[in-house]
Structure 1
Amino acid sequence: MRTVVFGASGFIGSHVAEQLHLAGHDVIAPLRAGSDRVFLDRIGVRVTQVDFADQSSIEAVASSADVVVNCTAAVQASPRQARQVDIELTRRLIRAASQAGVSRFVQLSTIVVYGYAPGTCPANETTPCRPSHPISKLAVEREDTVRAVARDAGIDYVILRPASTIGSRDKTSFFSQLAQAHAANRFPMIDRGMARFSCVDTRDIGRAMAFLAELPEAVGETYLLRGFELSWAQLKEVLDVHRGVVAKTRSVPRPLALGLATAQERLLKNPTLTRYAVEALCHDRIWDDAKLRSAGFDTAYDLHQSIDVALLALGEKENR
């Protein structure tokens, strides 16, 4: 099957392209001029240049595909830039896929659609989304955009909401930031790190996207994906073991953390701490992916395998 992966030069997108390639798909990665293509070239994924400002350029790329996968995302962008990518570009990509006669559009989403307190834990696909922060509201709007355009244009779609991800080729996710803080001997915690959360290996996200690209009953459906659960305090203990160093903990009460986050959001263009992050670190965020597993998918990587590959990529285990 010929699959076009938009966003294939990104952290999760590169894993999606890789897993589709490993599954035997003919993968095409449309990139902007100047995008990093080193990894894609190394694994043998075909790269082509696209002008995202030109709808005909997007349609020309999509016309060669059976399936289009969208992994584009605005990372560390301003609200305006985030909207241009997450909403406007997504709308243009699915319209181009429809115009090109593509049979299916697979959208990478996120568990942030639930907000920081989903109400029931674990949450599943029927749990109401209660977005209270801009990042959550934008994620919900992106899903709604996919559904609306797909309905109007008559194209099949599937949406995947993966849990927090751990993997290689990552410098900005929650895990890489915590791993770097651990390496600097100042692992941060809020309220002693007792809140529990679900994670998943990024390779399993790629495998799930490849699975959903071909699953007949996935049309019009939304799926959650998780791999394993632990608390933030347990994550620190696992990093202690994997790095062979017992890092010091910097524990901050939730009210103080919220105050610091509020001040950063008001004063800094790119705050290192946000109110959303604080709330996410203080509430259990466990996801139930029984729907995807009952369809026949199962994850392949456990917590320790995920942390091993992530630390190797960050250079934290080179001498061990």
Structure 2
Amino acid sequence: MDVVVFGATGYLGSHAAEQLMIAGHAVKCIVRPQSDTYFLQSIAADIHVVDFVNGDLSAHIDEGSCVLNCTADTRMHLSDLQRSKVEIDLTTQIFKAAAGAGAKRFMQLSTVMLYGFDRPPHAIDEQYSPSPKYSYSRIAARRERVLLDLAKTSAMELIVLRPSNTLGKRDTSALPAILPLLEKGKFPVIGGGGWRYSNADARDVGRAFVHLLDLPIVGPEIYLMKAYDISWLDLKAEIDNILGRKSRVLNIPRGLALGLGGVMEFLFPYGSSPPLTRFMVETLSSNTLFDDSKLRSTGFLPKYDLHETLLDALSDKSPY
């Protein structure tokens, strides 16, 4: 199938484009003029540089194709208005361009963070009502509602994928934040590190999109996706095992971390990158478990376990 990918220079977007190409689909990557396309060039991707403001996005979308939107502003410290420019405004622009060009299906990369942190300690599924607390979660939830409203008046099919936390090559947040301390023999955790969360290999997120590409649906569908459940201490143990050395737990009390995050949000202006925010603290100190039975019932199974994920991610020496 012809697939048009927006956001293919991003972390998960690059994995989606790569897995779609591996599966043999014709993939067209739409990128901004200022985007870093080093990785896409390395896999010989079909790159189309487009001015998202003044360019005609529909001109790059073929009739009957599938459009995959992985665009996102992943900065942690933004106002709702700043975050909406990509999450809402650009997503709406891409959806309308795809519908106008006669695309068959629109797939949206979303996030489990839209559920907020007022969740039970057990796994939840797609039916659990989001209760977003922070801007990152609020705008993610709003983006899905906007897409569902747009789909009501469009002949184009809509699928939304909510991946769990992920690890993999080209990640710019999780492992890169941990590795400097690991080199000093320390593994940072908040509130003891026993919090359990669902995780997946970034390659499996790409494989999920391959699976969903031509999955028969009768209306808009939302799918959760994960591979395995672990704790931060499980992650530490497996990294120690792979690196062949034992790190020491550096525990930060949860209350102290939340206080520091709040202070840093106050001191740093919107659009900057504080070393810690309350959203980051709650992400690292909450049980974040998901039930992906709906996706698995369609025949999709993740391929990679934690050991395989970390072997691949920790071997990443690339400049992209």
TM-score range, shorter chain: over 0.9
Query: Which aligned pairs between 1:65-144 and structure 2 lie closer than 5 A?
Result: 66-76=65-75, 78-79=78-79, 80-119=81-120, 121-144=122-145
Question: Identity percentage over the alignment?
Answer: 38
CA distance change for structure 1 residues 65 and 169 in 2, over 3 Å: closer, same or farther?
farther
Show structure 1 runs of 4+ deviating over 3 A: none
In structure 2, what is the Cα distance between the partners aligned to 1:311 and 1:70?
Answer: 27
RMSD across aligned positions (CA): 1.6
Query: Which aligned pairs between 1:144-155 and structure 2 lie closer than 5 A?
Result: 144-155=145-156
Report Cα offsets for 1:167-223 as digits up to 9, x if no partner: 001222x23322343224332111211110111000000010111121012741100
Q: Which moved more, 1:140-149 or 1:117-126?
A: 117-126
Which structure has more helix as a fraction of its residues? 1
Question: Could you tell me the TM-score, scaled by structure 2's length?
Answer: 0.93
For the 8 Å contact 1:189–1:232, the answer to whether it is kept is yes
- The correspondence for 2:315, drawn from 312, 316, 320, is 312
Report Cα offsets for 1:245-296 as digits up to 9, x if no partner: 2222221111111111110111123212111222222221111101000001
In structure 2, what is the Cα distance between the partners aligned to 1:247 and 1:119?
Answer: 31
CA distance change for structure 1 residues 219 and 23 in 2, over 3 Å: closer, same or farther?
farther
Q: Which amino acid aligns with 2:119?
A: P
- 2:58 corresponds to: 59
Q: Which amino acid aligns with 2:99?
A: S
1:303 equivalenced with 2:306 (yes/no): yes
Number of equivalences: 313
For the 8 Å contact 1:6–1:29, the answer to whether it is kept is yes
- 2:45 corresponds to: 45
Runs (5+) with no aligned partner, structure 1? 316-320
Q: Which moved more, 1:299-308 or 1:181-190?
A: 181-190
Runs (5+) with no aligned partner, structure 2? none
Aligned partner of residue 39 in structure 1, secondary structure: helix
Aligned partner of residue 316 in structure 2, secondary structure: helix
Q: Which amino acid aligns with 1:273?
A: L
- The correspondence for 1:273, drawn from 271, 276, 293, is 276
Query: Which aligned pairs between 1:27-42 and structure 2 lie closer than 5 A?
Result: 27-42=27-42
For the 8 Å contact 1:198–1:230, the answer to whether it is kept is yes
